[in-house]
Structure 1
Amino acid sequence: MKVDIVKVHEIWPQSHQSASPQSADLPVLDAWYAYRRTVPTIYLFEKQTEQHELIARLIESLAQTLDIFPRFVGTLETTTTSNSQQHEDGLQRTIVKWGSPSDRAVEFTEARTKSRIRSLLPPTTLNESAFLWDYSPSSLRTLFPAPCAHPPGIRIQITAFACGGFSLGIDFEHGLADGYTAGRFLEHWSAFYGHMFHGEDAVGQNPPSWQPKVFSDQLAGIDLREHGSALFEKAQALPTRSPYRRTLQPNGPTQRAETMYNYLLHIPATEVEHRLGELQSKSRLRLTDQVALIGFFWACLNRARSHAQRPPIDIHLANSFRWLLGGREGLLGSPFVVVMISPDAESNPANATDPINLAIRVTEALSQYDDNAMQAIAYDATFTDSPSSTFKPKGGDEHVEFSSVAHLGYDKFHLGPLSPSSYVPSSSIPNLFVLTEAVPNGHPVGNAWYKNGLNLFFNVTEDVFEAFSSDPALAECEVYQDV
């Protein structure tokens, strides 16, 4: 798809001119992921609108939003701590600086194309039937800002289509923008736009709460001379992925480069309800909705891999423990970790394809993470350097990279009366699975969180997809290719 760039804007917080320089240490766990970008997202709007007025309003409401997320125009730097108790030479730590000359404005790009938006939309937008769609031929790359060596923290591109519709590609590069924080940003931007130009209710009562010392303050209240060794042992026993530990099996096979293709699995609400009822009623442990679904998708993938003569693989599950640990709504910063979980195929090969067994393994792994576990991880991390922008992690076996953005508000993003027809996480990460709520379509079923159905976006090899699409558990899915 050919896209022409019309204009590039630099967007600053409205109060940027009067801002004073500030800096803060990143939580030591946030620093683990500071140079691992959030998956970009593209929203596709079919409805025609006046582009000039829309762009002006987007820019104005974006500047207003940045006022309450000022660190997103700030920059990350690596410093060396002094007087470290662990290392005489000190340790590398990451700080964020904002309100200073080093700030980077949000890059907002206007673009246009002669293509029609319909070709980029799923085969159906109704919540009526399950389908699998190979959307690899529908390249979305040109609907995002072009790659560059030193990108700012946020890059946005609005592309006008010949049919009158438009797309909004949003790429969070900033180290503070995990999936939860990015979702909060989109929620506030949508609310500001609606309030400023369409009389919608004002932004909610839970503005972003920046609390970078949420766990270091707790550690300060612990007698580390007495409890430090126990915390260290607990951290080592947890299946947490870190920059210095990338796999559950230290000598596992390294991941080889293969061509991955982009697919979408849509499951309507009635099918989600049926599947959850079946899995949860048969489990010996209480399974949350999302964990039950993770077990189901993981089992389908391992069955497909078996048919393709490939071994079952571990799952790496990105988790925010803000709610579990009583973090207030809007809390930014830690706690956020990636948990590595094995299907335990070594003891019994059937374990890898049993969705209930896999869901139970996920439940048991996540249940290890309480406030004491998070304190242990934070304590352990204080003994090693925080990764810098040039850090290259070593090793890494093949695994499922599973991320859920359900409940984070991505499906509720709208611009006044304009609602997207679809939204798509876009990434080429191997074996990436992203679970999202489908956008509202006027045909909700019930009042559950999945009332509009669910979408699973995933990247796998072609042979695995062929087997995946033939799975009896997905027999009701219609398969669309070369739409």
Structure 2
Amino acid sequence: MKVDIVKVHEVWPRSHQNLSPQSANLPVVDAWYAYHRTVPTIYLFKQTNEQRELVAQIIESLSRTLDVFPRFVGVLEGTTHPDPKDQKQQVQRTIVKWGTSSDRAVEFTEARTKARIQSLLPPATLNKSSFMWDYSPISLRALFPTPCSQPPGIRIQTTTFACGGFSLGIDFEHGLADGYTAGRFLEHWSLIHGQLFHSGNGVLKNPPSWQPDIFNDQLADIDLHEQGPSLLERARTLPTRGPYRRTLHSNGSDIVSNFGPKKMYNYLLHIPAKEVGHKLAELQSKSSMRLTDQAALIGFFWACLNRARGYSKCLPIDLHLATSLRWLLGVRDGLLGSPFVVVMISPDADSAPTNSTDPINLAVRVTNTLNQYDDTAIHAIAYDASFTDSPSRTLMPKRGDEHMEFSSVAHLGYDKFSLGSLRPSFYFPSSSIPNLFVLTEAVPSGGVSGNTWYRNGLNLFFNVTEDVFESFASDPALAQCEVYQDL
């Protein structure tokens, strides 16, 4: 698909000229992920207003949204703090600075293509039936702005199609833009755009605010002289992935895996709400332990992947699960930032080969592992991290072993993004990370009833090799799925 760039804009907060120079320390666990980009997202809109007017409106509402998130034009820098163990030594820390000459505007690109948006949409109607779709050939890369050579930065591209529709590609490559914060940004942008240009009168119940010291303050309330040693021991027994520990194996050290680069293909599994409900009821009724909806679904998808890998003569793999632990610390909705961590979970295939393909066993393992993380565990992780350098942009950790990456953006508001009366027909996360699985809620559609969180159906976007997909698609557990492959 050929896309022509029309114009590139720099978008600043409306009040940027009035900003005074400011800086703040990132919480030490947030700094772990400061140089890991959030998966880019592209929204497809079938209908549009007059394009020039629409672009001007989008830029205006974006500028006003940045007034609420001024740190998103700021930059990350390294600094040093005294080592908690030895005040004569220094440890590396990460700060964000904004309101300075180093600020980076949001890069907003206008583009156009002679393609039609229908060619990028799924071949079946969402929430009517289950299907799997190989969308690798459609190549969405041209609909995203060119990656930034010197992040951090936010890049957005709107592309007009010959049919009159348009796409909006959003790339939050900024250390403050974890999935929760990016979701709040999209929510606020939708609200402001509706108020400015569509007579909207919505109000956010929990306006965003950034208070990075709140987590340090909680840690400061702990008697570290008495409890510090036990916190360090607790942190080191948890299966938490960090910048200096990338795998469960080899005593937690970074090992160089023997799996080489493989060509990954992009796939979508869509499951209608009714079938999601049936699958959850089946899994949860068979488990001796109470399973949350997401734990049950993760166990199911993980089992399907390991089964498919077995048919392709590949070994079962660990799960690395990105999970938010905000609720454990009583973080109110609207307060930006983490804590979120990546938890590593083994399928325990060494004990019994069937463990890795049993969805109930895997869901229970997910649940038991997450149950290890309470408020004390989070404080332990933060305390342990305070003795090591925060990673810099130049840190290149070893790759570790092959594993499944699972991330859910359900409940984060990605499915509710709109531009006033213009609502997307579909949205994609875009990434080529091997074995990445991203679970999203489908966009709302007419005729949907019920109040479950998955009432619009679920979309699972995943990247695997072609042979693994062929086995995945033929799994009896997914027998009801129609399979579509674009040529």
Q: Give the TM bin, normalised by the shorter chain.
A: over 0.9
Q: After superposition, give the CA deviation of every residue in 1:205-237 in whole Å (9 maximum; x if it has no partner).
A: 311121212222122122212111100000000
- Letter matched to residue 375 of structure 1: H
Q: Distance in 1 between matches of 2:455 and 2:83?
A: 55
* Counterpart code for 1:58: I
Given that residues 76 and 152 in structure 2 are in contact (C-alpha distance below 8 angstroms), is that contact kept between their aligned partners in structure 1? no
Distance 2:435 2:210 in 1: 32
Structure 1 counterpart of 2:464: 460
> Which residue of structure 2 aligns with residue 479 of structure 1?
483
What are the residue-to-residue correspondences of 1:70-469 with 2, within 5 Å?
70-82=70-82, 84-86=84-86, 88-250=88-250, 253-469=257-473
**2: distance between equivalents of 1:54 and 1:254?**
50
Please say if residues 105 and 152 of structure 1, whose CA atoms lie closer than 8 Å, have aligned partners that are also in contact. no
Question: Which residue identity is paired with 1:269?
Answer: A
**TM-score, structure 1 normalization:** 0.98
Alignment correspondent of 1:55: 55
Partners of 1:232 and 1:453 lie apart in 2 by 42
The 3-state SS of whatever aligns with 1:175 is coil
Q: Secondary structure at the match of 2:440?
A: strand
* CA root-mean-square deviation: 1.2
- In structure 2, C-alpha distance between the alignment counterparts of 1:203 and 1:462, rounded to whole Å: 46
Equivalent-residue separation in structure 2 for 1:146 and 1:16 (angstroms): 25
% same residue: 73
Residue 282 of structure 1 and its aligned partner are, at CA, apart by: 1.0
Range 41-50 or range 30-39, more displaced: 41-50
Cα distance, 1:438–1:83 mapped onto 2, change above 3 Å:
closer
8 Å Cα contact 1:106-1:152 kept in structure 2? no
**SS of structure 2 residue aligned to 1:29:** helix
CA apart distance, 1:105: 0.5
C-alpha change, 1:420 and 1:98, in structure 2 (3 Å) is same
Tell me the distance in 2 between the aligned counterparts of 1:230 and 1:152: 37
Contact 1:270/1:445 (<8 A) preserved: no
- The farther-off stretch of 366-375 and 208-217 is 208-217
Does the 8 Å CA contact 1:434/1:458 hold for their aligned counterparts?
yes
Hey, what does 2:31 align to over in structure 1? 31
Per-residue deviation, 1:89: 2.8
Compare 80-89 and 13-22 and name the one that shifted more: 80-89
Contact 1:261 1:462 in 2 (8 A): yes
What SS does the aligned partner of 1:13 have?
coil
Whole-angstrom distance in 2 between the partners of 1:99 and 1:226: 41
Report deviation, 1:424. Answer: 0.1
| CA-CA distance at 1:130 after TM superposition | 0.3
Q: Any idea what the Cα deviations from partners look like across 1:377-399, whole Å, max 9, x if unmatched?
A: 00000010000010111241000
Once the two structures are TM-superposed, the CA of residue 84 in structure 1 deviates from its matched residue by 4.5
* Matching of residue 68 in structure 1 with residue 72 in structure 2: no
With over 3 angstroms needed to count, the CA separation of the structure-2 counterparts of 1:241 and 1:152, relative to structure 1, is closer
Code of the aligned partner of 2:430: S
**Conserved in 1, the CA contact under 8 Å of 2:83 and 2:91?**
no
- The CA distance in 1 between the partners of 2:399 and 2:132, in whole Å, is 33
Q: Which moved more, 1:79-88 or 1:340-349?
A: 79-88
Q: Secondary structure at the match of 1:71?
A: helix
Contact 1:107–1:152 (CA under 8 A) maintained in structure 2: no
SS of 2:146's equivalent?
A: coil
Gaps of 5+ in 1: none
| Aligned equivalents of 2:269, 2:214: Cα separation in 1 | 38
Per-residue deviation at 1:473?
0.4
**Contact 1:254–1:395 at 8 Å: present in 2 too?**
no
In structure 2, how many angstroms separate the alpha carbons of the residues matched to 1:194 and 1:242? 40
TM-score (norm 2): 0.97
Residue segments in structure 2 that go unaligned for 5+ positions in a row: none
What's the CA shift string for 1:143-163, capped at 9, x where partnerless? Answer: 001123114521000000000
d(CA) in 1 for partners of 2:359, 2:176? 34
Q: Give yes or no for contact 2:126–2:270 (8 Å, CA) kept in 1.
A: no
Please say which of residues 362-371 and 196-205 is displaced more in the overlay: 196-205
Specify the code of the residue in structure 2 equivalent to 1:429. Answer: I
Query: Structure 1 CA distance, aligned partners of 2:284 and 2:316?
Result: 23
AA of the residue aligned to 1:97? K
Change in 2 beyond 3 A, CA 1:390/1:87 = farther
Matched AA of 2:17: Q
2:388 alignment partner, SS class: coil
Deviation larger for 287-296 or 200-209: 200-209
1:447: Cα distance to partner?
A: 1.8
Aligned to 1:285, the other structure's residue is in SS state coil
Distance 1:92 1:255, change over 3 A: farther
Partners of 1:432 and 1:458 within 8 A in 2: yes
- Local SS of the residue matching 1:323: helix
